[in-house]
Structure 1
């Protein structure tokens, strides 16, 4: 029995992943590092410590993760200030349906709380969730299961009674390791064979979630 739905944020609720990938690469290039799109795709939803290790593995120990990340944040902030945030399709309808049917809802994101709150408030949905959980609130962020286990604890539900909605392999791994029924809504990439083994269902748009519950 499903009692709650827990959402990732970037790539599921807001259309930010394409810009995060773009500005990771731009920031790295500005600082003299040859970071490609495929490298940026690999760190989607990864907590900072895991992302840093992954990029140093791919690009060498000389890769200055903190400096590149700081510049990426500047570029992203400038973009949002100029163009605003894009809400993913079907978000409002899906949240309204879940509330009407009595499901609990939460957000479990790799982003810090300050950015998460600002983003969700900007698109008018922050108050629609029972809980908002961020990577900084747990010992290990995604792809480890901590954030989803903590989100389930915060809403008072067992993982097996919760659905996770994710768009990236790292997010899917986190939710599936925590024992949630994991639904993937692919954003920038389709699931690879390993990710397919971990998802309960794949849907093409968020609105399709309602027909599965």
Structure 2
């Protein structure tokens, strides 16, 4: 069934798992650090942390491993493993991002990034992916009282873009992010980063796309067929 978007005047991107394939690199670092400490973090558990901010991830890892688990040591080790990994491999950009960016710029739509990451971490990831000059508007964890799944980040993004939230297309890859986008009142697109897709996110979102290439086709069709 063909998806027809409502009127879109701005685009808000999530970062981890949506624009950048950072989640794979985080999972590798978490699992290797845990293994060195004598613990196992299964793939399914790591995937359940998708879209959560740092403190929520830390709390869930501690709850999973038990209170004898040294979270400080784990964070130090996983941080070092992550930086070693991405310094050699970089961070991949998700399929379709550049084509979607072409559509957005062709039609002069304002856009920004809204992420649960702290600003310094977001800038580091964008730089490692070669996207450090792309997003002139960046909404990060320290700019809002409540992180996703609260709607604060997206409401702030709408204010900075000076576009009503109801005309902002918000693209998310996780259930937590979709919850935030829906609560904010944006046009919510679910672009799953995990297989199988989260059924809860599919139910809540206005539409599901295979990838950002799929979104670029939808958006191009919508903008070019909009009545003058």
- Same fold by TM (over 0.5)? yes
What is the CA distance between 1:105 and its match in structure 2? 0.6
Number of equivalenced pairs: 213
Give the drift of 1:33. 3.1
8 A Cα contact 1:144 1:177, kept in partner: yes
Task: Give 2:165's aligned residue.
Answer: 159
Q: 1:116 aligns to what?
A: 122
Seen in structure 2, the aligned counterparts of structure 1 residues 191 and 16 have a Cα distance that, compared at 3 Å, is same
CA distance in 2, matches of 1:156, 1:55: 38
- Residue 94 of structure 1: aligned partner: 100
* Counterpart check, 1:206 vs 2:219: no
Q: What is the SS of the residue equivalent to 2:124?
A: helix
Q: How far apart, CA to CA, are the structure 2 residues paired with 1:5 and 1:66?
A: 37
- 1:30-74 deviations in Å (ceiling 9; x for gaps): 223332222211111211222233334433334443432332221
Cα RMSD of the aligned pairs, angstroms, is 1.9
Candidates 149, 153, 156, aligned match of 2:155: 149
Equivalence for 1:50: 56
CA distance, structure 1, for counterparts of residue 72 and residue 171 of structure 2: 29
Matches within 5 A, 1:65-104: 65-104=71-110
Selected match of 1:172 from 151, 175, 178: 178
Alpha-carbon distance change, 138 to 207 in structure 1, aligned in 2, over 3 angstroms = same
> Does the Cα contact within 8 Å between 1:17 and 1:188 map onto a contact in 2?
no
Q: Is the 8 A contact 2:118 2:142 kept in 1?
A: yes
Q: Does 1:134 align with 2:147?
A: no
- Cα displacement (A) at 1:126: 3.3
Instruction: Tell me what 1:193 maps to.
Output: 199
8 Å CA contact 2:99–2:216 kept in 1: the answer is: no
Gaps of 5+ in 2: 1-6, 220-228
Q: Normalising by structure 1, what TM-score?
A: 0.90
Structure with the greater alpha carbon radius of gyration? 2
Residue in 2 that maps onto 1:2 = 8
One of 90, 105, 109 as aligned partner of 2:111: 105
| Cα shift readout 1:145-200 (whole Å, capped 9, x = no counterpart) | 11111111111122211111111222212212211111121112333332222111
* C-alpha separation in 2, matches of 1:103 and 1:112: 25
Gapped regions of structure 1 (runs ≥ 5): none
Quick one: distance in 2 between partners of 1:134 and 1:199? Answer: 22
